[in-house]
């Protein structure tokens, strides 16, 4: 299967409780998440908006009981006003009902110069 065929093109905007729910689901299924739920719970802005953009379809061929997942690029709002980039695998049935970002949303997705969680931690340790 082509990893990019029929990939949803919309960006989703979610709140922190939804992000934590998706993190918990991914963790429970043993799916990839760059930042663990504990890190997200500790650092995510409780009132923040976070964005998910599908990057590719991901399949675990050694676990055929799991359907393919959307490997999403995530832009997370964290305490202190920073944004960090991450990845999160999301099942299609969990992705579809999420609110699609519209032209009224100030969509922010990772581009060059965005902090990784490690970069942010190192910067905080230096300050």
Q: Over range 31-45, report the average pLDDT.
A: 87
pLDDT band per the 50, 70, 90 thresholds, residue 35: confident
Q: Over range 19-27, report the average pLDDT.
A: 93
- In which order are the strands placed within the sheet that holds 69-77? 12-15, 49-58, 69-77, 83-90, 115-116
Instruction: Tell me what pLDDT residue 102 has.
Output: 85
* Residue 79 CB partners (closer than 8 Å, separation 6+): 43, 44, 45
Angle 70-78-117 (CA atoms, 0-180°, nearest 5)? 70
Global pTM reads: 0.81
3-class secondary-structure state, position 89: strand
pLDDT digits (tens, 9 = 90+) for 53-99: 999 999 888 888 888 999 999 999 999 888 898 999 999 999 999 99
Instruction: Tell me what pLDDT residue 113 has.
Output: 46
Distances (CA, A) of 47 to 2, 54, 88, 119, 123: 37, 23, 20, 22, 23
Q: Which helix (H) or strand (E) holds 19?
A: helix 16-29
pLDDT value at 125 more than 80:
no
């Amino acid at each position: 299967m082509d990893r990019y065929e029929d990939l949803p093109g919309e960006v989703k905007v979610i709140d922190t409780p939804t992000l934590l729910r998706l993190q918990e689901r991914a963790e429970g299924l043993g799916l990839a998440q760059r930042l663990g739920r504990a890190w997200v719970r500790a650092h995510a802005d409780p009132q923040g908006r976070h964005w998910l953009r599908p990057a590719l379809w991901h399949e675990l061929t050694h676990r055929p009981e799991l359907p393919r997942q959307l490997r999403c690029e995530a832009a997370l709002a964290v305490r202190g006003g920073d944004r960090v980039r991450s990845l999160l695998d999301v099942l299609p049935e969990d992705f579809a009902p999420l609110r699609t970002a519209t032209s009224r949303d100030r969509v922010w997705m990772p581009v060059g110069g965005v902090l990784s969680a490690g970069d942010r931690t190192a910067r905080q340790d230096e300050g």
